[in-house]
Structure 1
């Protein structure tokens, strides 16, 4: 069980984070396919995946040249920054400070934009570029997460399998329903992913600095619990702060 803790953590974090990113990319690709045709949609997406594969093949082997403690520290700091970016948005959305992301609305915006370009001679080219950019931008985040959560403890293969599973699941569901996955609780997933990435980052930064965590890998669970408790406390505080002026006006 002890040896499975980092594997389970890497697979779970990679799967959830990749699921969110693939849903967002799929929404754009679907809009391109429905509005224009599937040829530019699949061409753009395919080229983006090829670029991502080239990046992994080019930079992946370089990680083996970095000392493990240095790698843990660098990856840890980056994960804290990356995870807290996700966590910040999820907290603000949960507190009602900013609006929740709506995949149906994103789909409508993209189809409207593509519709306005319908008479442009470059319509297919622009549609392909839209699909390419969506897959590339979201894919870069997936690649970073897979490398980050896997590299520090040699779990890159398992993290990659988690990301692949998320990709396959989104494709199967999306192609079956042929609609944006609007019912996916995206903010809840981002909240969990933000908590996990931040927890990983704190854990590996400590290891990179030479800290010996009590319980070793099980310390991840304690870190996660502390980060989650602080985050939920912030959500409650923000809800109270933003509700107070409204209640005062109502009285």
Structure 2
């Protein structure tokens, strides 16, 4: 059961970050040329591979209890941020992320830049895709490596990330446009819940706690957090509606 949740968390978290990176790649490729976009993407992926190769094995040398305490705490910080933003978006206090708007904005910026060619390479397009893929990829790498190390199942975390990569790339190749139909806030809500759940479970185990039912306790934590999310969204929606109703109507 924990293996299934591990795969699902790695898959969803990776998919969200990859969709955001793909939006930038498509914007650069369609406006500046695919050569610079693809070279920048490849350079970023190579850099990520080096980072994972260097730091990945180090985590396996840390005692499991200490590793789970540290990783659990980091996942809680990371997951709660996603969870909080998703609740605010679902309740109307924060605008929903719009991939179409991001695509249009990045496309316009790319078109306004001077299209300079140096040694046959558009350095603006290269830099923009390299930076975007590297930053989003670092988040994916953090989730995959820490999840895999803490659970001692790096293979499942990698499979989840690879499955997300294949799906997002296939969708991008077919659509050639931002994946605006993907319910991103729903994905981030789910990922935030899963990261917070695993963070709570592993941090507690690392601190010496013993969960009743073992891995089955993950379901209980997830259900508790999901119920709390439902309650928060309902309360905040009422508060948002009340604020809207109190606004004076201009003549």
Bin the TM-score by the shorter chain.
Answer: over 0.9
- Larger CA deviation: 174-183 vs 114-123: 114-123
Equivalent residues of 2:39, 2:126 under 8 A apart: yes
The counterpart of 2:93, out of the listed 92, 97, 101, is: 97
- Larger CA deviation: 179-188 vs 120-129: 120-129
Show the counterpart of 1:180. Answer: 178
1:8 aligns with 2:4: yes
CA distance in 1, matches of 2:130, 2:93: 32
Question: Secondary structure of the residue that 1:25 maps to in structure 2?
Answer: helix
CA distance in 1, matches of 2:115, 2:149: 48
The counterpart of 1:144, out of the listed 135, 138, 142, is: 142
Q: How much has 1:120 moved relative to structure 2?
A: 4.5
Show the counterpart of 2:74. Answer: 78
The counterpart of 1:37, out of the listed 33, 40, 61, is: 33
CA distance in 2, matches of 1:150, 1:241: 40
Which whole-Å deviations, capped at 9, do the CAs of 1:70-117 have from their partners, x for residues lacking one?
Answer: 000000000000000111111110011111111111000001000001
Q: How many residues align?
A: 247
1:117 aligns with 2:113: yes
CA distance in 2, matches of 1:232, 1:140: 30
Matches within 5 A, 1:1-251: 5-120=1-116, 124-249=122-247
Equivalent residues of 2:197, 2:218 under 8 A apart: yes
Q: How much has 1:248 moved relative to structure 2?
A: 2.9
Runs of 4 or more consecutive aligned structure 1 residues displaced over 6 Å after TM superposition? none
Using structure 1 for the length normalisation, give the TM-score: 0.95
Q: How much has 1:153 moved relative to structure 2?
A: 1.6
Q: How much has 1:220 moved relative to structure 2?
A: 0.3
Equivalent residues of 2:144, 2:161 under 8 A apart: yes
Which whole-Å deviations, capped at 9, do the CAs of 1:172-223 have from their partners, x for residues lacking one?
Answer: 1111111110000000000000000000000001100111101100100000
CA distance in 1, matches of 2:218, 2:40: 39
Equivalent residues of 2:115, 2:122 under 8 A apart: no
CA distance in 2, matches of 1:153, 1:102: 34
Q: How much has 1:119 moved relative to structure 2?
A: 4.4
CA distance in 2, matches of 1:85, 1:214: 28
CA distance in 2, matches of 1:147, 1:236: 35
- Residue ranges of structure 2 left out of the alignment (5+ in a row): none
Which whole-Å deviations, capped at 9, do the CAs of 1:115-137 have from their partners, x for residues lacking one?
Answer: 00144557810111110011000
Using structure 2 for the length normalisation, give the TM-score: 0.95
Q: How much has 1:6 moved relative to structure 2?
A: 1.8
CA distance in 2, matches of 1:194, 1:24: 17
Which whole-Å deviations, capped at 9, do the CAs of 1:17-48 have from their partners, x for residues lacking one?
Answer: 00010000000001110001110000000000
Q: How much has 1:236 moved relative to structure 2?
A: 1.2
Question: Secondary structure of the residue that 2:60 maps to in structure 1?
Answer: helix
